Structure 1
Amino acid sequence: MKNAPPGYDCPFCAIAGTLPSPAPESAVVLVDANVFALVPTHHYAGIQGNCLVVPRRHYENVFDIPDDLGSEFFCATRRLANAMRSAFCCGGISTRQHNGPAGDQDVWHYHLHVFPRYPDDGLHAGQKLPYATAERIELAARLRAALQ
């Protein structure tokens, strides 16, 4: 079942179309053959440095994504987790993924959230807050440096 509205203009496909040389304001952190990762436009509960791992091809949700991309998602997630630990000195990492309207999906292109975590950080009760563009770019630069 597809949930994207007719004529949906996918923001992740637009970014994927610029790879491997994305615009700086996209805050892309990692580019692999079939996936990329970026600092999104929002953070939660004041926890900054969260990222999204996204397939370069369009798949709406977990029901559509091919099995063979699983290892690439895992590898990118692990690389980001290590970069977050190095760049942000976080005590842990959480991931989450949403599918369909009842699953709180709001971008109709599969993506995996990766969060740096700290004791009592309030992620689960936290509010979704926008980043300033400069914040996103700076956080992305720190993560890219940690990925080297």
Structure 2
Amino acid sequence: MGDCIFCNPMNFPEQKIVFENESCYFLQSPKAQDILEGAGLIIPKAHKQTVFDLSEKEWTDTYELMQDAKRLLDSEFAPNGYSTGWNVNPVGGQSIPHAHFHIIPRFNDEPFAGRGIRSWIKSEENRRPGRVSKVL
């Protein structure tokens, strides 16, 4: 995929490859660092559109880089927590159609502290039109 920014991470000098292994990279970009220091992505080197397309090897290599990234981020930034996860397809929040795993250090003093990946399932404002609560 010639135009995919994650297939060609070296084409974007502002992205820093922090770690890599056989099938994946752990990247950080200055734009993300400007908001929450340490935030980064683990991406497969091969073009895979979503997390559901990853091979077993890519899963294993993602896990390895996640552990490496956590050790680094813990030592450099001492976050109070983490948000991690995958977005899938545009409605799920995926803006680049190449699978990527977010590792986001979280800090007690940030304005959105405590808002994790489940925040949208806890919000009545996100209820789908015409859906009625089944909780008694």
Considering the TM-score relative to the shorter chain, is it more than 0.5? yes
> 1:33: which partner in 2?
22
> 2:5: which partner in 1?
11
Alignment of 1:75-86 (within 5 A): 75-86=64-75
Task: Choose the corresponding residue for 2:101, options 109, 112, 117.
Answer: 112
Could you say what the CA RMSD is over the residues aligned between the two structures, in angstroms? 2.6
By relative contact order (CA 8 Å, sep 6+), the higher-ranking structure is 1
Query: Separation in 2 of the partners of 1:88 and 1:44?
Result: 11
Give the 3-state SS of the residue equivalent to 2:32 in structure 1: strand
- The TM-score normalised by the length of structure 1 is 0.67
One-letter amino acid matched to 1:14? N
Deviations 1:54-112 (A, max 9, x none): 11111000221113321111110011011001011212222121001110100010000
Query: Separation in 2 of the partners of 1:48 and 1:62?
Result: 25
- 1:58 paired with 2:47, answer yes
Give the total of aligned pairs.
114
Unaligned runs of 5+ in 2: 117-136
> 1:144: which partner in 2?
none
Query: Separation in 1 of the partners of 2:12 and 2:94?
Result: 25
> 1:49: which partner in 2?
38
Query: Separation in 1 of the partners of 2:82 and 2:12?
Result: 27
State, as a whole percentage, how many aligned pairs show the same letter: 25
Query: Separation in 1 of the partners of 2:35 and 2:63?
Result: 25
> 2:124: which partner in 1?
none
Could you say which structure has the larger radius of gyration?
A: 2
Unaligned runs of 5+ in 1: 1-6, 126-148
- The TM-score normalised by the length of structure 2 is 0.72
Query: Separation in 1 of the partners of 2:6 and 2:22?
Result: 15
Contact 1:91 1:117 in 2 (8 A): yes
Contact 1:84 1:90 in 2 (8 A): yes
- Displacement, 1:26? 2.5
